[in-house]
Structure 1
């Protein structure tokens, strides 16, 4: 595929493309601050409600052993997001646009449908997380809370009127709110530091125990999310670097990668805190009945080690952080939906309609599940975990086009993949696909 084959009438996410000032001749500090932001929006996807449920269940049921999975997933995410940065800046196209031109028309539609399903799966996690948070904080029934989340899209549209930087600032404030809450909660829980450190050492139990592997793949799916690959390749183009100058592109790639790695490091810390909190408070006890949002909320509230007043504070902060996380992820999920639709099928519809359709489709299975199971909380949380495993299964359909595109010299020029990146990225794709097949076989054997 040569670069001249990719033709689009408009830029990727054209309402924000090339809209944020970036001066390649300014000081290092100014250049860094200019590019600080897109990584925040990407990092949100690495700490959404799906991460919460998988990490906390992993800690409650299997202790600290899955910290290794969080570490590997986070390092892998840094590499993959850096590849999307290079793709977006070097080529001027997003991953959806490029993928379409790698495939024939029928196969292109298959990849588009899988990408849309992955975004819907991501949205399901946000809907469930936000609805549960509203129930915990205000006693709003789950089905009403799920419907209320449809209105989130209008909040995003309102914020975008004030500029893309405002979105980044709001997301950043919510991220650091979540971080502060969980640092405080883990501090109060007083986990064993030695056991935490040992958790970063690989354990054979992750593969041999079906339950641990299921949660591990859920963590992978919740950490390396397909929609983030499409999102990042687009929003890095929001800066006003010189599109025709190779040195300007190189600087943009450098600072965008730094931004991405910093924000993903914060996401890594938050995910570790989530797992550590689940392990410190619940592992070794009646862990089979713990790990869900409601279980954790009530367990925090009644935890003997915390006392009534401190337990009440921690449970409330937990619900506040959950709501903030769900709202954050809403912003990035709706943006990714627009990028995928425009990139794959070159269909541009009004932003409010695009986002409303995506969210409405995600709300439908949640409401159906609530009706069928009469508002059963446990079923909601299991649906959320399944959505994360689906993301892991869908991930290769985004990773393979990303790998092929970033290794294409016609498209990338001097910014194509180095040999070690090709080796590592293909290894990730093969290992992840093999683990998925193993999980599916195990699941059918146990039916």
Structure 2
């Protein structure tokens, strides 16, 4: 008989995926300037009042005490998210004015690297007005609290709150409980065996990865590549011809692998295979309303030997076959089940897992693509022009690519640990990505 321990009102048991994210947060706090966090940025066509924005955000956040939670461990050894009865502390809100629009990216980058004040703070809001009367709202979020689509949906819920004039509780219908997953142990151990075999198979070939620079408290650099609607259409047409219908993610991943290969070639790095760790979110819009907080993504791994990387058709075919094989053999399910076993260990233990067969290398780079956006066209009367993400990716590898689609336009953000690449290398990487996306590399 299956036995599930229910969560109490102020306690939400953490899943295996949540615990892995928490372990990455622990590792990043040990090696970089802040934890496993990200930032979603909304760019608006006109200025908005910072005081009004702060007031509305404060009232909205007060509906969700979960945002002030912290990690505890139950008597049954299962870790959980402890939620206070009401929100605590002052809203972390800053306002900036950029006299020169060229300074905007530097301000946003600084905000993305700003650590939270303590272990009960998991959200920070940054408002920026520019001289050209444009404005931005940047929400920094702790990945232990929200994943990427959850963060976008949280801001979408804020828009609904504004439209309702602070009407019915927006928190109604948002699930804040979860099972302890303390049953079906044989299933979890078998899944762990399968995951271990997968890791060993991936480690059979030397893994190409940029050396992580020495020193702690390093920040992340970012580079945003924006494509207009016509360019985006060209990219999707290229993806359709090369990879097939609704296969833009394998196509984008192949382009990134080729661009990264160009970087390794210029460095004359040792031969090895490339390994991309890809997060996949299959939830519908309704699912996300139920699963707004915490982590609900799946993971796939794609390996490519340098011998096939320069052949786009062969590379895309390999990526698609690996995707089909992993889904068919249940790799995402096995990772989810096996990750429940890691919760018995302290957060520091996860590094020992990484230092095993993969010898301290998780992947060559991280990739994530968000194709759907839940936001309404306006925020506080200002038209939304663009939305993009600025993630602090796990270290190692310290290199990540995050793409999203907003209003028919594709954005691609390069995220990299300070010292991992020089500015000239990031310039080359940006040009390689742009040219290959648009088919100019032929």
Pairwise same-fold verdict (TM > 0.5)? no
- Asked which structure has the greater RCO (Cα within 8 Å, sep 6+), the reply is 1
Which structure has the highest helix share of the two?
A: 1
More strand by share: 2
Q: TM-score, normalised by structure 2?
A: 0.29
